[in-house]
Structure 1
Amino acid sequence: MTVSWIGALVGLALAIILILYRLNPVYALMLGAVVGAIVGGANLTQTVNIVVTGSQSVMGTVMRVLAAGVLAGVMMESGAANTIARAIVDGLGERFALLSLALSAMIITQVGVFIAVTVIILAPIALEVGERMHLSKLSLLVALSGGGKAGNIISPNPNTIAAAHGFNVELSQLMIADFVPAVFGLIVTVLLATLVKNKGEIASEKDLDKLSVTDQNVLPSLKTALVAPIVAIVLLLINPIGNLLNISLLIKFQVDAMYILPFAGIVGALAMGHGKKLLSYCSAGMARMTDVVLILIGAGAIGGLITSSDLPSQVVGLVQHSGISGVFLAPLAGILMAAATASTSTGVILATGSFSKSILAFGVSPIGAAVMVHTGATVIDELPHGNYFHVTAASMHMSFKQRMQTIPYEALVGLTMTIVGTIMYGMILK
């Protein structure tokens, strides 16, 4: 059956309100889907079918996210991410401190580490550098968060997997397409962080005293730490390079990220001599992915409600009558859904599941739609009703008020990437 658009809006609004009131996002999304379906005219049996069908639609994303947990677990638990970060910071030196921190966050997130975990890993290094260079904690977090956002859109993380799967494009293809917006995001991050380097509280010794810095003797070498990400990136790029250069042998290499990411993690663990710890790394990676998977299922449920309703067609009609280009529906969907859930991954799932057909109906290419939704979801995904806000505040020893001051700068980084992505794939390369 087709649910009324009113029911879809009621369900979505209810889910958002419940999330704002700190109800577990999974329950909030599922309850919103159930209430919205009933309000929209579905009976109890039809409501179950809508919720189940919606949840089933995200299973492809779920499987890839779980597979990515192997790589994420290896990079985080082995100390490989920490090794790479310190090598970048030490290599660029104190003169380019903010650039080194932003670039470190970008690279660590790009190789498959969650952005929140990236900030946790880099926070001790950032505060240590900030104390020596007399930099404000505001500028340090802008550098870490902005760099993390840039790396997040070119990573095999859940949000990128969700955006690729939502528009049926290859993960590697989306990572490549997002590269230019990511570079612009990095540039703006460094400029903004430099602009506010003396604004607010300066990092001090009292911040360092609270930190437990990882013992450098237990970290893997840089060469071995780079094995896993290099293997993953090389294998993911084989097919796109083959298509670009028209090399038939490379074109035939069509191996899904579900195989590549865990394989890269295993190879990386063996290269570091941590083969005996592989099972514990896998368990840690799975634990990291569990919350993400549950939220994806909840987002799939409410996405099923919206796709079962006539809301998408109503949205198309509204955009057509308003005279606004339909291209802008893609970034707006990403921005609004991520803001509502304070999560890049959940925002992407809701935006693709709810508006993908409407976006494509305006003639937007699948890869262009994926880029615009994905970059849009990075604009205001750091709001206080999400975990990222509080995790990053704690890691940098910032008060609620201090953490709130970083949001406009983080939003400018995401907005820059969205504008660049929209110009490239909504206007030039459409």
Structure 2
Amino acid sequence: METVVVSWWAALIGLGLAILLILWKLNPVYSLLLGAIIGALIGGANLLQTINILIAGSQSVVGTILRVLAAGMLAGVMMESGSAETLARAIVMKLGDRLAIFALALATMVITAVGVFIPVAVLIVAPIALEAGQRMHISKLALLVALSGGGKAGNIISPNPNTIAAAKGFGVELSQLMIADFIPALFGLAVAVILATLLKNKGSKVLNEDLANLATEKAEVSDLPSLGRSLVTPLVAIVLLLLNPIGSLLHIKSLTTLNLDALYVLPIAAVVGALAMGRGRQLKAYAKAGMDRMTDVVLILIGAGAIGGLITSSSLPQQVIALIKGAHVSGTFLAPISGILMAAAAASTSTGVILATGSFGKAILGFGVAPLAAAAMVHTGGIVIDQLPHGNYFHVTANAMHMTIGERSKGIMYEALVGLTTVVVATAMWGFM
């Protein structure tokens, strides 16, 4: 196979072009592919070499794609069966009105952590939050910060596509990364609750018309599975994912050699959970719903793999290393900064993490950063400012909380503080300790 080293400036132009096209609302997959093609061509590759770069880059993410598809089965069962909503309602009811803000943030964190996408998690908890908000006189801004902040905390300890991408991008186990991000997630949850509490009297209140559409949803609550049955899916997934780390910690050889990858664990947990809820007949529908939700992520992975192939085929990683060394700045900071910037550019945690690992992973590891540390810092960086208006999450959460664009925009800074807390803690823990 004919190979070529693409000029670093051309790789940078290709990446920049892809980001600009995403900001201009061109389909992200086409944006990434176009950026990769143009970057390779102007960087000295011929047509055949350009195709080889794109194919090699896309092949590098096949392992991540398989695991993301496996996660779709788990997400489908949790979302479509109603078990995620059962968990959310149970947490809010148990903690009561006095701890309403904490309960709402924790509920969103938990259902995101068990494999539900963060926009869907906010959609699930939003009706409960609006009811509690009107009853307890909590502003919509405070409710949004609680839900979004809790969701961000849960997102970095979940078997969601962003966590899978960060883990596989740096060659570490999914369970290891989930454990590594657990303490930063707790700090993020704490900051979300503090900020939401401080904001509870700021901004517009929940009005009667905001609750008008909730009457029909209440009628469906009786169809939800019980709490015990709803817990089966996440518990099976967590236990199976933790077998290998527990074996390593306790020196149990049989567990360390088990090698239960997320590719096996997540579908198994989904099937067991569906059967426990007595909904085995709906498995086909759950699997289809989960697959549908993962389709966009998989396509973006292919595009991001292509742009990652361009970067790794260029001299850009070496140039970045030389630049940072020349500036006498710790190369460790490249990990969180790349996660923050790429997620901000794409307004998506998953896409941002995929871009950061594919584009800067080689350079980050080139500074001697351990793979697990790199994964943790990039991953937490990805949740800092992924809520910008050019992304889907901004608008989904605005609609869920019945907020105008102006009202929703006021939450961006506070959500960023939650994400920034997690990345600072992760960097302190894994980058410098």
TM-score (norm 1): 0.98
Residue aligning to 2:277: 272
Letter in 2 for 1:75: M
Q: 1:247 aligns with which of 246, 249, 252?
A: 252
Residue aligning to 2:106: 103
Letter in 2 for 1:394: N
Cα deviation for residue 249 of structure 1 reads 2.1
Q: Distance between the aligned counterparts of 2:76 and 2:252, measured in 1?
A: 34
* Residue deviations 1:114-149 (CA, integer Å, cap 9, x gap): 000000111111101101111111110100110001
Q: 2:340 aligns with which of 323, 335, 339?
A: 335
Does 39-48 or 175-184 show the bigger shift? 39-48
Q: Distance between the aligned counterparts of 2:26 and 2:243, measured in 1?
A: 43
* Residue deviations 1:321-360 (CA, integer Å, cap 9, x gap): 0011011011011011111111111111111111111111
Q: Distance between the aligned counterparts of 2:314 and 2:250, measured in 1?
A: 43
Cα deviation for residue 40 of structure 1 reads 1.0
Residue aligning to 2:217: 213
Residue aligning to 1:53: 56
Q: Distance between the aligned counterparts of 1:252 and 1:20, measured in 2?
A: 45
Check if 1:395 corresponds to 2:400: yes
The secondary structure found in structure 2 opposite 1:139 is helix
Cα deviation for residue 213 of structure 1 reads 2.0
Check if 1:88 corresponds to 2:114: no
Residue aligning to 2:185: 182
Residue aligning to 1:200: 203
Q: Distance between the aligned counterparts of 1:178 and 1:349, measured in 2?
A: 17
* Residue deviations 1:176-198 (CA, integer Å, cap 9, x gap): 01100000000001001111111
Cα deviation for residue 217 of structure 1 reads 1.0
Indicate the RMSD between aligned Cα atoms, in angstroms: 0.8
* Residue deviations 1:274-299 (CA, integer Å, cap 9, x gap): 00100000000000111111111111
Q: 1:405 aligns with which of 407, 410, 413?
A: 410
The secondary structure found in structure 2 opposite 1:213 is helix
Q: 1:150 aligns with which of 145, 148, 153?
A: 153
Q: Distance between the aligned counterparts of 1:374 and 1:54, measured in 2?
A: 20
Q: Distance between the aligned counterparts of 2:15 and 2:358, measured in 1?
A: 13
Check if 1:347 corresponds to 2:345: no
Letter in 2 for 1:337: M
Check if 1:231 corresponds to 2:239: no
Check if 1:2 corresponds to 2:5: yes
Residue aligning to 1:39: 42
Cα deviation for residue 254 of structure 1 reads 1.0
Cα deviation for residue 405 of structure 1 reads 0.6
Does 50-59 or 164-173 show the bigger shift? 50-59
Cα deviation for residue 210 of structure 1 reads 2.9
Q: Distance between the aligned counterparts of 1:31 and 1:252, measured in 2?
A: 43
Identity among equivalent pairs (%): 68
* Residue deviations 1:85-110 (CA, integer Å, cap 9, x gap): 00000000000001000000110000
Q: 1:261 aligns with which of 266, 276, 280?
A: 266
1:303-318 map, 5 Å: 303-318=308-323
Cα deviation for residue 224 of structure 1 reads 0.3
Cα deviation for residue 361 of structure 1 reads 1.3
Q: Distance between the aligned counterparts of 1:302 and 1:271, measured in 2?
A: 43
Residue aligning to 1:422: 427
Q: Following TM superposition, where does structure 1 have runs of at least 4 consecutive aligned residues deviating by more than 3 angstroms? A: none
Letter in 2 for 1:183: L
Q: Distance between the aligned counterparts of 1:41 and 1:209, measured in 2?
A: 60
The secondary structure found in structure 1 opposite 2:190 is helix
Q: Distance between the aligned counterparts of 2:42 and 2:97, measured in 1?
A: 59
Q: Distance between the aligned counterparts of 1:383 and 1:33, measured in 2?
A: 24
Residue aligning to 1:285: 290
Q: Distance between the aligned counterparts of 1:201 and 1:137, measured in 2?
A: 6
Q: 1:363 aligns with which of 365, 368, 382?
A: 368
Letter in 2 for 1:222: L
Runs (5+) with no aligned partner, structure 1? none
Q: Distance between the aligned counterparts of 1:288 and 1:299, measured in 2?
A: 18
TM-score (norm 2): 0.98
Q: Distance between the aligned counterparts of 2:268 and 2:184, measured in 1?
A: 28
* Residue deviations 1:211-244 (CA, integer Å, cap 9, x gap): 3425111000000000000000000001101111
Runs (5+) with no aligned partner, structure 2? none
Residue aligning to 1:383: 388
* Residue deviations 1:22-76 (CA, integer Å, cap 9, x gap): 1111111111111111111111111111111111111110000001111100000
Q: Distance between the aligned counterparts of 1:11 and 1:300, measured in 2?
A: 13
Cα deviation for residue 270 of structure 1 reads 0.2
Letter in 2 for 1:121: I
Letter in 2 for 1:286: M
